[in-house]
Structure 1
Amino acid sequence: MGIPAQQGLEDRGTGQVPDSSPPEPPSDYSLILPDGWYRIPLDPEQCTRSVDALVERQFKGIDNQPHAKRQVRNDLLDQADQAIGNGGIEMYLSLQAAGPITIPASLLVTLTPEVREADKSLEEVARELAHSGPPGIETTIETLPTGEAVRTRSRTEAARDDATGEVLYSTSLDYYVPVPATGSFLVLSFSTPLDMIADALVKLFDAVARTLTWRGPTNA
């Protein structure tokens, strides 16, 4: 990830001789995704190749839909460009199937800038997210193997069916995980437009978030 270190953190004291080296941030992280999820690295040099490979895979054996194929490719590249501009590191798309239907879901991993003051508690961060989020947003503090994180869940109107006028909803689940020895968050942003099984997918999203581990040097 290349996460910058934050200098001058307070030594809280343990009765032992303190380590004279400053806390170091992790250099990377790892996540475990279910089988059937496709990773798109949000690096300009790799992103286009990854999107092209996905489109070719999904349209394999279908030669009579060049417009649909081109539209899917353009939509994915637009999503990736927007995510890169917002600090996105990687994106995962669900290709899991239930019978003939692909279960639509996604995960975007983002590294925020140094936005968190050293003395700001996660409770304060949670209150700010609740205040700025959509109506009905649920905000809690959860404990992951990496430590405490802010979890938010929301359900918002995504679109409206032109034929029936039915409102279509999207469910989002976000984890704001403090990066050790920095003022940044690693944000795991899960989403699904499949309202009828949103609760089941949220359980899956929570399970994925609990697989997060830091890699690389850190003595925070």
Structure 2
Amino acid sequence: MIDFELVIPTGWVHIPTLPEYAKLRDRNIEEIIKRALPDTLPRDKAGPWRKMLRKDMVEAAVEAQRQGARGLVMPLTEMQGMRLPGSLLLTVIGADEGEPEDPTTVLNSVLADAGDNGIALEIGGCPAVRVQQIIDSEPLKRKAPSVRVSYFVAAPDHPGVWGLLTFTVLTDGDVEAEEVQAITLLFDAVVGTLRWADRVDVPTEDEVLAQMPSD
């Protein structure tokens, strides 16, 4: 099957969110928590942070699965003393039954709907569209708005197959702040590493778990 890959920076994590990889998701989350908050830290101080980090990551993964994403990319390290407030959802949309529309027609339609918020570009040599929106964060239980950027990337030689990558950057109310712009550019750079590839003999969850080091 065709799928895409990304190069993510050091300190960022990728969490699988497909239902058939639930055990792997939980294992990855626990490994991430151990690296971020090792057992050498005092239990009374690290315990609450571990609990909060686990809750945040599980909730984010469950929400990604609910939205049909196959993966979630999150930055965990700090940049200039600030933890990057955002996450990236990865989705592959397969062709529906019937004759798929020409990619150019689909992208032109997305651009028309987006107006000034959309731009056409190429990612990994494939035609794509980038759409940026300012959204109400009330569903996220926050009062400040967020910046949401969605990329629609056509798969080469597979009409009707698309990569949909959506990242959301939280703000403190100022969507034009330098910090928000910098984080948005960083997520853009990650999406820019996208490359499509045909994956053969995709391992099952049990096969992946068997290859991971035991505790």
1:95 and 1:104 in contact (8 A); partners too: no
Q: May I ask how many residue pairs the two structures share in their alignment?
A: 182
Distance 2:153 2:77 in 1: 26
1:188 aligns with 2:165: yes
1:214 aligns with 2:196: yes
- 2:101 aligns with one of 98, 109, 118: 118
Alignment partner, residue 204 of structure 2 = none
How high is the TM-score relative to the length of structure 1? Answer: 0.70
How high is the TM-score relative to the length of structure 2? Answer: 0.71
Distance 1:212 1:87 in 2: 19
- Identity of counterpart residues, as a percentage? 24
Query: Which stretch of structure 1 is more off in the superposition, 173-182 or 58-67?
Result: 58-67
Q: Would you tell me which structure has more helix in proportion to its own residues?
A: 2
2:87 and 2:168 in contact (8 A); partners too: yes
Distance 1:176 1:118 in 2: 14
User: 5+ residue gaps in structure 1?
Assistant: 3-26, 132-136
Deviations 1:150-181, CA, capped at 9 Å, x for gaps = 1111122325xx9xxx9422111111111231
1:146 and 1:214 in contact (8 A); partners too: no
Alignment partner, residue 157 of structure 1 = 136
Is the partner of 1:84 in helix, strand or coil?
helix
1:44 aligns with 2:19: no
Question: Greater Rg, structure 1 or structure 2?
Answer: 1
**Equivalences for 1:77-92 in 2 at 5 Å?**
77-92=58-73
Deviations 1:34-91, CA, capped at 9 Å, x for gaps = 2221121222231011111222333332522645533432332232123223331221
1:200 aligns with 2:178: no
Deviations 1:109-165, CA, capped at 9 Å, x for gaps = 11124369424331113334x38xxxxx71121122332111111122325xx9xxx
User: 5+ residue gaps in structure 2?
Assistant: 200-215
RMSD: 2.9
